[in-house]
Structure 1
Amino acid sequence: MKFTDSPVIELQVGDSLLSLQQDNGSMHVGTTVWPCSLVLVKFAERWSPLTYSPSSSPQNPYSHLLDFRNKRAVELGAGCGAAGMGLYLLGLNNIVLTDIAPVMPALRRNIKKNKPVLKKALKTAQLYWANSEQISAQGPPFDIVIAADVVYLEETVRPLVETMEKLMGETGVVLLGYQLRSPEADRLFWEVCERVFEIKKVPHEDLQPDYAYEETDVYILRKK
């Protein structure tokens, strides 16, 4: 599932409205807004200490995870920037959004477009997974690694997991928005992840109800 009906996707985060320009005619998947990024943001919004309403649930099981104060974050495969910008609005102020060279114009265009909402231009960087020089240039370790809908090619799975592992600190987490795109990539991804990470799947009932799409999930990964 992707949103192809409109060149602009709007995402409400708290009192702010992000406007995301996508290029449906592009041959690159990174210039499209994919649902997992929105699902991830709306999950975080539901449980963020900044927006959490005790009346909706007496206890917040994600209060520590989503308390972004003094946290450093990096997003992999940021695409149009929905996840990174959305989480920034939820308090993740120290964040860099990364992607490969062909996607950077779309990412930077969206950050510029939303600067009045963000109040500043977020940091971006070119990052090819498993490129040791580019990984080091980001200044790891990070407290949070963000990734949304990045598992769709079998050949990129090992570089992706290696990059996650190298970027995150020993007590860090990966916030992963996930949708099955390729059975082969899916099988390999979880096989490799299980060697490196403790994997927790967020129950669907904990997602934001309007963004709890049947085919999308949120996972929390921590180093073993």
Structure 2
Amino acid sequence: MVGDEGKLGEREEEDGGEEEEQIVEGLGLYKGKVRIVNSEEPSEETMLLWGIQQPILSKPNAFAKQSSLQLRLDSCGRSLSILQSPSSLGTPGVTGSVMWDSGVVLGKFLEHAVESGTVLLQGKKVVELGSGCGLVGCISALLGAQVILTDLPDRLRLLKKNVEANLYGDVKGSATVTELTWGDELEPFLCDPLPDYVLGSDVIYSEGAVMDLLETLVDLCGSETTIVLAGELRNDAILEYFLEAASKEFIVGRVDQKQWHPDYLSPRVVIYVLVKK
């Protein structure tokens, strides 16, 4: 099936299944296969994820360790060193001071997707929401994107440190750091021109933040913008709430783990691609 605006690729039926599952080749700028989430019944998606991936049966922190002062990761031909601030975790609401598996998975997913040709980041404008320690934004810049990393004002010091420490020498793209509170009016440079990609990892964490997040996503996205979000499967009710609300504005597709970086797979993580309806 081809969407009216050319956003959806071809539709397939899932082999061996009695019910037809909508799989499309490409959604927005992402050229890989995605499974379209049923906007009428988002509970189907959460039941499927928790039933098949069974996240609670696997151990968290396969790739990240919040008690460490830094995370080391090889990516884009260099060794990245991401500073963390474990002591800040004691502050209520502060989780961006350390890395989580979803951020590592998303960063390596983007690297793998660029190598396999399903994502093109060279010269693209990218806005990252909730950048935290900055790993995803740094990898995006190394892959050629013009990245704007954003977070709350009290998170920017650590974020800037990591950007400066890891983006040195010959970098294909660029990175700037700025504050952004979801739901607030956007600074003109964030949305003029509108970004090609909006990225986020672990940004769906509470019902209270969902509507502010969606307001910012709507403001940042035009008809040519593609959103890529990764998150850890901790609370099915919060994810279902997000999917139900997001489906009013966006087509939502889930990326199968077969298209992730083969060394960075986790049943506790999910990756979604969204485009405006």
Alpha carbons of structure 1 residues 118 and 190: separation in structure 2 relative to 1, 3 Å: farther
- Equivalent residue for 1:29? 95
1:46 aligned to which of 112, 126, 135: 112
Distance (Å, rounded) in 2 between the aligned partners of 1:5 and 1:210:
23
Alpha carbons of structure 1 residues 104 and 131: separation in structure 2 relative to 1, 3 Å: same
- TM-score of the superposition, structure 2-length normalised? 0.71
1:107-131: CA deviation from partner (whole Å, max 9, x where unpaired): 1111122232675972011000010
Offset at 1:207?
Answer: 1.1
- Equivalent residue for 2:139? 86
Q: Is the 8 A contact 1:152 1:180 kept in 2?
A: no
Offset at 1:86?
Answer: 0.9
Structure with higher Rg: it is 2
Cα RMSD, aligned residues only: 1.8
Q: Is the 8 A contact 2:144 2:174 kept in 1?
A: no
Q: What does 1:98-177 correspond to in 2, within 5 Å?
A: 98-116=150-168, 119=171, 122-132=175-185, 134-140=186-192, 141-177=194-230
3-state SS of the aligned residue for 2:222?
Answer: strand
3-state SS of the aligned residue for 1:201?
Answer: strand
**4+ runs deviating over 2 angstroms:** 115-122, 134-137, 180-185
Q: Is the 8 A contact 2:102 2:231 kept in 1?
A: yes
Distance (Å, rounded) in 2 between the aligned partners of 1:118 and 1:82:
17
3-state SS of the aligned residue for 1:110?
Answer: helix
Query: Which stretch shows the higher mean deviation, 2-11 or 151-160?
Result: 2-11
- Equivalent residue for 1:206? 259
3-state SS of the aligned residue for 1:29?
Answer: coil
Unaligned stretches of 5+ in structure 1?
Answer: 53-59
1:159-214: CA deviation from partner (whole Å, max 9, x where unpaired): 10110111122111001112233334222111111111111111111111221111
- TM-score of the superposition, structure 1-length normalised? 0.86
**Counterpart amino acid of residue 270 in structure 2:** D
Distance (Å, rounded) in 1 between the aligned partners of 2:187 and 2:86:
30
